[in-house]
C-alpha cells in the first residue's frame, strides 16, 4: 500500500454520532506488537492442524482469479475473486455463479464487497456503482435488493442495521455509518475526517462477519471494534510501541502526514479474523524508498501469546508450494488459505501433483483452498 493513499483521520477519534454522542470505553484487550518478536519461517503447520486441500473445479463457466474472500456456509464455499462470486460444494465441485453483471435491478455493474449471513444463509453483494446490495440464497437464487444512499468500500448487516465504510464522506461526513436498512436513514456516524477530506478507495477488508462475532478494523486508529446491532464498542487495541501513531488531541493534518511517512512507521490494521480464542490480523511497515512490507499477527486470547510473521509460512509437508500468507476466510473452527497455481513453474507444478495426487492440475486450473483447524 502506498503511504500517501491514506485518509486523514482525527487521531484522537472521539466517536461522535449524527443523532447522539457516544464516548466509548477503552478496548477490552491490548496487544503489544514488537518487531523484535518477528519470526521468519513461521511454523504454522506445527501450531495448527492441517485439515485438507480442496481444488476448486475449473469450468468454462467459472474461471477464478486472485481470491479475495471465501465463506463456508451450509456445506458450500462462497468464493469472490474481486470480479465475480461463485459457489462450490465441500469437495470443490462447481455449483454456479452468483448473480450476473448488467444494469438490471437484479444485476450488478461491479462487486465492491461480499458478505454472508450465516443465520439466514444469504449472500450479499455490494454494488457501489448502482448504490445497492443484492441478496441471494445459498444456491445463488436472487431474493431481493437493498437500496443505499451512501457509497461504501465495505459493509455489514446486523438485524435492521446496515453498517457502511463511507470512503466518499457523503451524508454524515463520517468514515463509518450505521443506517436503518428499511429507511436508509443514518442512525449514527463515527470517525470524522480532518478538513472534510474524502477517503481513498481501499482494497483491505475492514469488516469480519463470523457466525458469532462481527468486527470492524479501523486502520487509522489501530483499533478493532465489535459490532452488535446498532452498537459499536472498542474490542482490541493494537499497540505498535515506539512506531505507533501519535494519538494526542492536537494531531494536525501536517503532523499526521509526517508520522505516517516515517521510515519504519507501523500501522494500517486490516484483514481481521477471529476463530475461537485466536485473533488474526495484518499490518504494514514502511520501508525506505516509498515501499512497505506486510506482516501478520496470530494472537492467542487465552495465553496472550503474540506471533508475528510475514509471507514465509511453513506449511504441512504435503503442501510443497507455499500458498498466500493472507487468510482469506474461516470455516467452522478453522482458517482458509488459497494457492494460485496459474504462475507456478513446471517443476513446482509437477511436485504439487506428486504430493497431492491431483494429476489434472495445470496452469489454467482454478486456485486450491487449504484448510487448517484452529483449536
Structural domain for 177, as ranges = 29-373
On whether the CB atoms of residues 26 and 240 are closer than 8 A, the answer is: no
Cross-strand partners of 164: 155, 177
> Is 17 a domain residue?
no
What is the rounded average pLDDT of the residues 262-282? 89
**Number of independent structural domains in the chain:** 1
Say what the pLDDT of residue 196 is: 54
> Is 369 a domain residue?
yes
pLDDT tens column, 141-158? 999 999 998 888 889 998
What is the rounded average pLDDT of the residues 298-320? 92
What is the rounded average pLDDT of the residues 36-48? 92
> Is 267 a domain residue?
yes
Looking up cell 458450500, which residue turns up?
76
245 pLDDT above the threshold of 80: no
CB contact burial 204-226 (16+ within 10 A = b; e otherwise): bbbbbbeeeebbbbbbbbbbbbb
How many angstroms from the chain centroid is the CA of residue 5?
Answer: 18
pLDDT band at 253 (very low <50, low <70, confident <90, very high): low
On whether the CB atoms of residues 156 and 181 are closer than 8 A, the answer is: no
Say what the pLDDT of residue 7 is: 34
CA–CA dist 210, 298 (Å, integer): 17
pLDDT tens column, 45-100? 999 999 999 999 999 889 999 999 999 998 899 999 999 999 999 999 999 999 99
Say what the pLDDT of residue 6 is: 35
State how far the alpha carbon of 120 is from the alpha carbons of 73, 157, 364, in Å: 10, 12, 35
Say what the pLDDT of residue 195 is: 56
CA–CA dist 22, 29 (Å, integer): 20
User: Which grid cell is 76?
Assistant: 458450500
Phi, psi angle pair for 206, to nearest 5°: -95, -30
Calculate what percentage of the chain has a pLDDT beyond 90. Answer: 53
What is the rounded average pLDDT of the residues 337-346? 91
pLDDT tens column, 350-368? 999 998 899 999 999 999 9
> Is 1 a domain residue?
no
Which of the residue ranges 253-257, 297-301, 362-366 would you say has the lowest mean pLDDT?
253-257
> Is 8 a domain residue?
no
Which of the residue ranges 98-102, 118-122, 241-245 would you say has the lowest mean pLDDT?
241-245
> Is 188 a domain residue?
yes
What is the rounded average pLDDT of the residues 318-326? 87
> What count of residues does the chain have?
375
Q: Which residues contact 291 (CB under 8 A, 6 or more apart)?
A: none
> What CATH number does residue 280 fall under?
2.120.10.30
> Is 152 a domain residue?
yes
On whether the CB atoms of residues 341 and 368 are closer than 8 A, the answer is: yes
Q: Beta strand pairing status for 29-32 and 231-239? A: parallel
State how far the alpha carbon of 334 is from the alpha carbons of 178, 275, 337, in Å: 30, 7, 10
> Is 5 a domain residue?
no
Say what the pLDDT of residue 74 is: 87
Grouping H, G, I as helix, E, B as strand and the rest as coil, residue 346 is: helix
CA–CA dist 112, 128 (Å, integer): 6
pLDDT tens column, 166-219? 866 666 678 889 999 888 888 988 877 655 555 555 567 789 988 788 999 877
CB-count burial class (<10 Å; 0-12, 13-18, 19+) for 276: middle
Least Cα distance to 69 among 61, 77, 60 occurs for: 77
Q: Which residues contact 172 (CB under 8 A, 6 or more apart)?
A: 18, 166, 186, 189
User: Which grid cell is 340?
Assistant: 494460485
Least Cα distance to 302 among 98, 56, 29 occurs for: 29
User: Which grid cell is 14?
Assistant: 472521539
CA–CA dist 68, 33 (Å, integer): 26
127 pLDDT above the threshold of 60: yes
Say what the pLDDT of residue 256 is: 64
Neighbours of 262 (CB within 10 A): 11
Neighbours of 261 (CB within 10 A): 13
Please tell me the pTM assigned to this model.
Answer: 0.87
CB-count burial class (<10 Å; 0-12, 13-18, 19+) for 47: middle
User: Which grid cell is 325?
Assistant: 500468507
User: Which grid cell is 4?
Assistant: 500517501
pLDDT band at 331 (very low <50, low <70, confident <90, very high): very high
User: Which grid cell is 230?
Assistant: 446498532
Average pLDDT score over the chain:
84
Amino acid at each position: 500500500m502506498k503511504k500517501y493513499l491514506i485518509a486523514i483521520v482525527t487521531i484522537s477519534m472521539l466517536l461522535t454520532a449524527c443523532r447522539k454522542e457516544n464516548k466509548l470505553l477503552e478496548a477490552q484487550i491490548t496487544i503489544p506488537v514488537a518487531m523484535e518478536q518477528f519470526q521468519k519461517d513461521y511454523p504454522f503447520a506445527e501450531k495448527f492442524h492441517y485439515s485438507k486441500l480442496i481444488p476448486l473445479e475449473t469450468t468454462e463457466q467459472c474461471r477464478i482469479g486472485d481470491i479475495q474472500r471465501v465463506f463456508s456456509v451450509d456445506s458450500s464455499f462462497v468464493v469472490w475473486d474481486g470480479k465475480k462470486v461463485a459457489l462450490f460444494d465441500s469437495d470443490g465441485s462447481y455449483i454456479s455463479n452468483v448473480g450476473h453483471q448488467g444494469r438490471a435491478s437484479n444485476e450488478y455493474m461491479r462487486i465492491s464487497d461480499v458478505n454472508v449471513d450465516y443465520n439466514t444463509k444469504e449472500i450479499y453483494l455490494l454494488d457501489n456503482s448502482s448504490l445497492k446490495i443484492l441478496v441471494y440464497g445459498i444456491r445463488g437464487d436472487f431474493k431481493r435488493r437493498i437500496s443505499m444512499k451512501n457509497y461504501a468500500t465495505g459493509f455489514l448487516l446486523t438485524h435492521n442495521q446496515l453498517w457502511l465504510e463511507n470512503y466518499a464522506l457523503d451524508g454524515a461526513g463520517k468514515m463509518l455509518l450505521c443506517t436503518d436498512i428499511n429507511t436508509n436513514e443514518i442512525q449514527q456516524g463515527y470517525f470524522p475526517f480532518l478538513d472534510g477530506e474524502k477517503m481513498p478507495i481501499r482494497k483491505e477488508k475492514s469488516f469480519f462477519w463470523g457466525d458469532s462475532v462481527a468486527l470492524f478494523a479501523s486502520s487509522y486508529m489501530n483499533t478493532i471494534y465489535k459490532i452488535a446491532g446498532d452498537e459499536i464498542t472498542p474490542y482490541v487495541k493494537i499497540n505498535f510501541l515506539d512506531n505507533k501513531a501519535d494519538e494526542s488531541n492536537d494531531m494536525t493534518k501536517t503532523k499526521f502526514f509526517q508520522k505516517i511517512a516515517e521510515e519504519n512507521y507501523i500501522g494500517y490494521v486490516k484483514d481481521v479474523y477471529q476463530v475461537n480464542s485466536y485473533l488474526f490480523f495484518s499490518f504494514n511497515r514502511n520501508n525506505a524508498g516509498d515501499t512497505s512490507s506486510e506482516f501478520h499477527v496470530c494472537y492467542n486470547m487465552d495465553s496472550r501469546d503474540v506471533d508475528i510473521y510475514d509471507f514465509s509460512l511453513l506449511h504441512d509437508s504435503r503442501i510443497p508450494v507455499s500458498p498466500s500468507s493472507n487468510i482469506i476466510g474461516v470455516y467452522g473452527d478453522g482458517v482458509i488459505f488459497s494457492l494460485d497455481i496459474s504462475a507456478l513453474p513446471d517443476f513446482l507444478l509437477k511436485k504439487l501433483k506428486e504430493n497431492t495426487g491431483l494429476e489434472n492440475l495445470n496452469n489454467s486450473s482454478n486456485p486450491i483452498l487449504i484448510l487448517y483447524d484452529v483449536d
